[in-house]
A and B are shown apart, each in its own frame.
Chain A
Amino acid sequence: MNVNVKVKHGSRIQSFYLFFILVNIQTGTGIIGAPRYIYEQAKQDGWLSVIIAGLFVHFVVFMMFLTLKQYENTDIFGIQQDLFGKLIGKLLGTIFIIYIFASLLSVLINYIQIVQYFIHPILSPWLLSFLLLILVVYSVLGGIRVIVGVAFVFFVSTLYILFFLYHPLLEMDLHRFQPFFEASPMELMEGARATSYSLLGLEVVLFIYPFIDDKKKAQLPSQLGVAITALFLLLVTIISIGFMGRERLADSYWPILIFYKFISYEIIERFDLIVVTAWMMVVLPVMILLTWMMTYGMKRMYNIRQKKTLFIICFLLFIGGGLMKEQVMITNYTSYVGQIGFWLTFIYPIILYPLVRIKKALKKEGKN
C-alpha cells in the first residue's frame, strides 16, 4: 500500500461538494434526538453548549486539513501507515472501519425505530432495512461521483423541511431560557459532549480527501458545512428548549419530530409523517457515504474488491437492522457509538497532527 493515492481524473469531485457531504453525513439521525441529551446536561443553557461544540468542530476540521496538507494526496490509511508502520497502521485502520460500521448500524436502526414509532408500528424492520440497503447498494455501485450526487441532490430536495420550522419558532416561550448562564462550565462541557453523536461524520474528510480535485479550495466548503450543521443543531436546540420546555423535552426521544407534529395545514394534518418519510432522504446519503468509506478502506488496506465488501457489509447490516429492536438497547448502543466516535473523530485527528510533524522533523534530522 502506498502512502499517497493516485485517483484517475474521471472519479474526482469538485471541492464545493464537501459542503453537502459534511452537512449530510453530520445531520443524519443524530439531530432528531440531540436536543434532549443536550438539555439533560446543560438545561436551558444547552444552546451555549452547541456553540462550544460547533467551535470545537471547526478546530478539528482545521487540524484535519493541516495534517492532510503535509502529504501529497493521501487519506487516513496512508497517514497511519506512514506514522505507525504497516502493522499498527492497519490495525488502527481496521478499528476505524469497525467504528464506521457501528455508526452506520446505529443510523439504520435509529431510522427504523423512528419509522416504526411514527408511521408503521407493525412494519417489519427486516423489510425496511432491506429497502434501505437496496438503495445503498445501488448507489455505491455507481462510484464516488454518484454517491456525491446523491448527497447533493438529496440535501437540496429536503431543505424544505427546514422551512416549516418557522411555525414552532414563532410560538417559542422565551421565558423558558431563563435564568441565563445557570449551568456550570462543567455542565456546559458535558452538554457539548452530548452533541457528539449528532456531529459525528467529520472523518469523511480524511477518507475522501484524495478524490478532491481542487484541494487548495477544500478548506472553506468544509468549514462552511460544519458551520451549517452546527447552526441546524443550534436552531433545533433553541426551538426545543423554547417550544417544549423542561417537562415535555425530558420524556420525548425525538423532540424535533414532536414539534413537527404540532404543525398542521388545511391540506396536511400531521406534518411529522411527511418529515419522517422525507427523512429517508437525509439518512440515505449518510448510509451511502459511510458504506463507501468502508469499502474504500478495505480496498486500500487489504486490496479486497469493493463490491465484495459492499455485499458483505450490507448483509451484516441487514441482519443487524432486523435484530436490534429494543428501545433501551438502541439507546445504549447509540450512546456507545457517540462516545467512541467522540474520541475517534474529534480527539484523534488533533493528536495526529503533532505526530505527523514530529515524524517529519525526525526524517529531516535523519537525512542530515
Chain B
Amino acid sequence: MIRKRKRKQLAYEQPKTKNEVHFPLESEQTKQAIQEQLQNESSLIFKEVNVQDQTIVVCYISYLIEQTQVDSNLLAPLIDSKEKWTTTRLETNLPIGNGQQYDTIEQVCSQLIKGSVVVYIENEKSAITYSISKNERRSVEKPERESIVVGPQSAFSESLETNLNVVRSRVQSNELVTESFNIGARLPTEVRLVYLKSLANDEDVQTMRQRLNNLKIDDLEDASVLVQYIEDTNKTVFPLFYLTELVDRFSYGVSKGKIGVLVDGSPEAIVAPTTFWGFFESTEDVYFRWSVATFFRMLRFAAMFISFVLTPVYVAVVTYHYEVIPTNLLVTLGESRSQVPFPPILEVLFLELIIELLREAGARLPTKVGQTIGIVGGIVLGQAAVDAGLTSSVLIIVIAMSALASFTAPSYLMGSAVRVIRYPLILLAGLIGLVGVTFGICLLIIHLLKLKSLGRPYFLPVYPFIFKDLDNSLFRLPFSISNRRSIALNTKDPIRYQERKSKKPKDIEDWGE
C-alpha cells in the first residue's frame, strides 16, 4: 500500500514542472482553465447550475459519459436540493459512489479524459470528480487465437476493468494482489501486476516489480510490446514470457504461484516465469484425464521436433546421404524426384515459401476468403506444382507435415519461433548435410540452456534437473499423485493438498467389516 501511495504522489508531482492552476476559482476562470488544458475539446460540456444562490459548475466530455446517469443521479438531486451545497455534502449526499476531491485543474482534467464528471462549487477549495464513464468496449468473448475444445471459453478483452473482473471471478481470494503501475511518460497506460500473496515467490514478484518500475518509455502499445521491453533478453527467437488471451490459462498460472501482468487496452495477458516446455502445455491438459493429456502433450513435443527437423533431414539425406535410405524407398524417392530440375534445397525453399505465403495470406484475409485461399493453395497449388515438375510429391508430404506440426503448439508465439528456426536448419542441411543439422540442433539446445525467464532457467525442469517437476511439464500424472506445485518456482507453499493414502493395501476380495 505504501508503495502504491508513493507512486501516486510521484504521478501527481510530475505536472508541477508547468505552472499549476489551483482552486479556488470563479466559474468563468474554471471554464477557461479547463478548456485551455484540454486543447479546446469541442465535446466538452460546461453547465452552470444556480441553486440556493450558489453557482455550481458541472463539466464533462459528452462522449465519455453515461448521459442518463448524469441527468438522473447528478443534475436532478443537485437542483432539487433545499440546502446549501458544500464540497463535503456533494461527496456524501449525491447518489453516485467514487467521488474524489482534487485541488488543481490539471488533476481534474486528467480525470475528465478518463470519463469523469467534475462538479465544482464556485470559490471552493477543491472540486469533486465522479467516474461515470461509458465503456464502449467489446464484451468477454470466445478465444480466437488460442482455441480450446474443453474448458472455460472466455478470453480477455481490451478493457483492463473487464479483465480484472473476470480474473477476480475466477480467482476468488482476498490474497489476490493487483498492484497498479503507470507506464509511459507521454501516454500513460495502466499496468497491473497480479499474483497470489500467499503463494508467489517474493523474489520473482520483486524482480517483475523492478522491471516495471525501471521501464522508462514514452508510450506502451500492447502487452506483447511490454513483454519485449521486460524480457530477460531479446537475443532470441523464443518467447520468454507466456502471452495468453485465455482467462483460465492466466488464472491457472496465478493459482500455481506464477506472476501475471495485465495491460490496459490489451486483450492479452502476460504470465511469467515460464519454461520452454510450458509453451507446449495447454490448459486442456488439466481438464483431460491424465493419460489422454499425457498422450497429447507427448504428441505436441513430437510435433515440434518433427516440425524443425523433418525438412532439414530430408534436404540433407537427399542431397548428401543417399546411402541412408533403403533401396525400396530410394526408388520411390528417385521416381518422384526424376522430373525435378532443381537441387533439393531450392525445391524445399520454394515449397516452404509457398506454405508461408499461404499462412500469411490466410491470416490477413477475412475469414471467408481465407478458407478459399487455403483450399486453392493447399490442394490446387500443391498438385499443380507436382504436375509441373517443380517439386516432388514426397516433398509435399514432408513440408505439409512439418507445417501442420508447427501449428500444434498451443502458443502461437512458440509456433512462429519454431517455423523461423527451420530456415537456418534447412540452409545448414543444404550446405553440409546431416552434420550441419546436428550442429544446428546442438546450437539450439545450448541456446535454450542459456536462456532465462524472469531469472529462472528456461530449460527447467530438464536442466537443472528436478525429477519431481517432470510431472506437469513433460507429462501429467493423475491428481492423486501430483499434489505438488512446481518445486522450481519456489512458491511459498509447495504442496497443493495432502496425498490421500489408503490405510490397508487391497486384496482381490476383501471381507466387509
Residues on A lying within 8 angstroms of B by beta carbon are 14, 16, 115, 119-120, 123, 127-128, 131-132, 134-135, 138-139, 142, 145-146, 149-150, 152-154, 157, 264-270, 273-274, 277-278, 280-281, 284
Q: Are A267's CB and B329's CB within 8 A? A: yes
A152 near B465: Cβ-Cβ < 8 Å: yes
The yes or no answer to B459 lying at the interface (CB within 8 A) is: yes
Q: Check B462–A153 contact: CB distance below 8 A.
A: yes
Bound CA–CA A128/B439 (angstroms): 10
A152-B463, A274-B324 known; A138+B438 contact, CB < 8 A: no
Most chain-A CB neighbours within 10 Å: which of B327, B433, B459, B465?
B465
In the complex with contacts A135-B443, A281-B438, A149-B329 CB distance below 8 A: no
Given contacts A152-B463, A269-B326, contact A127 B432 (CB under 8 A): yes
Interchain nearest-CB distance for B15 vs A (Å):
43
Nearest A residue to B445 by beta-carbon distance?
A153
B439-467 interface bits toward A, Cβ cutoff 8 Å, 1 = contact, 0 = none: 10011011101100000000100111100
B8 within 8 A of A: no
Instruction: Decide if B365 is an interface residue (CB 8 Å cutoff).
Output: no
Is B323 located at the chain interface by the 8 A CB criterion?
yes
| B contacts, CB < 8 Å to A | 320-321, 323-327, 329, 432-439, 442-443, 445-447, 449-450, 459, 462-465
Decide: A120 near B446, CB < 8 A? Known: A269-B325, A269-B327, A280-B438. no
- Chain A residue numbers with a CB within 8 Å of B436 are 131
Are the C-beta atoms of B320 and A120 separated by less than 8 Å? yes
A292 to chain B, nearest CB (A): 13
Asked if A146 and B438 make an inter-chain contact with CB atoms under 8 angstroms apart, the answer reads no
A132 to B442, CA, bound (A): 10
B463 contacts A153, C-beta separation under 8 Å? yes
A123 touches B432 (CB 8 A): yes
Q: Within 8 Å CB of B450, what residues of A?
A: 139, 142, 146
Q: Which of B324, B327, B433, B446 contacts A142 (CB 8 A)?
A: B446
Closest to A139 in B: B446
In the bound assembly, the distance between CA atoms of A153 and B443 in angstroms comes to 13
Across the interface, B324 reaches (CB within 8 A) one of A152, A154, A268, namely A268
Closest 5 CB pairs of A and B: A149-B463, A149-B449, A277-B434, A269-B326, A142-B450
Can you list 27 A-B contacts with CB-CB less than 8 angstroms, sorted by A residue number? Answer: A16-B465, A119-B435, A120-B320, A127-B432, A131-B432, A131-B436, A135-B446, A139-B450, A142-B446, A142-B449, A146-B449, A150-B449, A152-B463, A153-B445, A153-B449, A267-B329, A269-B324, A269-B325, A269-B326, A269-B327, A270-B323, A273-B324, A273-B434, A277-B435, A280-B442, A281-B438, A284-B442
Docked pose: A273 CA to B436 CA in angstroms: 13
A157 to B447, CA, bound (A): 16
Q: What is the number of contacts between chain A and chain B, taking CB atoms within 8 Å?
A: 89
Report the separation of the CA atoms of residues A161 and B183 in the bound assembly, to the nearest whole angstrom: 53
CA separation between A128 and B450, bound complex, in Å?
A: 23
Check if B435 sits within 8 Å of A120, measured CB to CB. yes
**Once the chains bind, are A150 and B324 in contact (CB under 8 Å)?**
no
Q: Would you call B326 and A264 a contact (CB within 8 A)?
A: yes
Residue contact A115 to B435, C-beta cutoff 8 Å: yes
A119 touches B446 (CB 8 A): no
- Which residues of A are found within 8 Å of B321, using beta-carbon distances? 119, 270, 273
A120 to B463, CA, bound (A): 34
CB <8 Å contact, B432 and A120: yes
Interface SS, B side: helix
Q: Are the C-beta atoms of B437 and A266 separated by less than 8 Å?
A: no
In the bound complex, residues from chain A placing their C-beta under 8 Å from that of B462 are 153
CB of B434 within 8 A of CB of A154, answer: no
List, in ascending order, chain A residues with CB within 8 A of B459's CB: 149, 153
Query: How many angstroms from the CA of A21 to the CA of B253 in the assembled complex?
Result: 35
Q: For A149, what are the chain B residues with a Cβ–Cβ distance below 8 Å?
A: 449, 459, 463-464
CB < 8 Å neighbour of A277 from B323, B327, B438, B464: B438
B residues less than 8 Å from A134 (CB atoms): 443
Minimum CB–CB distance for A37 against chain B, Å: 26
Q: Which residues of B contact A139 (CB under 8 A)?
A: 446, 449-450
Minimum CB–CB distance for B69 against chain A, Å: 57
CA distance A274 to B146 in the complex (A): 37
Known: A274-B434, A281-B442. 8 other contacts (CB 8 A): A119-B321, A119-B433, A134-B443, A145-B464, A153-B462, A273-B323, A280-B438, A284-B442
- Nearest-CB distance from B430 to chain A (Å)? 14
Q: Report A-chain residues with C-beta under 8 Å of the C-beta of B442.
A: 135, 154, 280-281, 284
Measured in the bound complex, the distance between the Cα atoms of B433 and A284 in whole Å is 18
Chain B residue, CB-CB nearest to A281: B442
Q: How near does chain B come to A313, taking the closest CB pair, in angstroms?
A: 18
CA distance A274 to B309 in the complex (A): 14
- Chain A residues with Cβ below 8 Å from B446 are 135, 138-139, 142, 146, 150
B475 smallest CB distance to A (angstroms): 16
Nearest opposing residue in chain B for A148, CB measure: B463
Q: Report Cα–Cα, A128/B327, bound state, in Å.
A: 30
CB atoms of A128 and B435 under 8 A apart: yes
User: How many angstroms between the C-alpha atoms of A124 and B99 in the bound complex?
Assistant: 78
The answer to whether A267 and B449 touch across the interface, beta carbons within 8 angstroms, is: no
By beta carbon, the residue of chain B nearest A141 is B450
CA distance A265 to B438 in the complex (A): 21
Contact residues in B for A14 (Cβ distance below 8 Å): 464
In the bound complex, how far is the Cα of B462 from the Cα of A280, in angstroms? 21
Set of chain A residues within 8 Å of B329, measured between Cβ atoms: 267
- Output the least CB separation between B433 and chain A (Å): 7
Alpha-carbon gap, A145 to B324, bound state (A): 37
Q: Is the CB of B434 within 8 A of A267?
A: no
Which residue on A lies nearest to B463, using beta carbons? A149
How far, in whole Å, are A132 and B329 apart by their CA atoms in the complex?
Answer: 33
- Which B residues are in CB contact (< 8 Å) with A266? 326
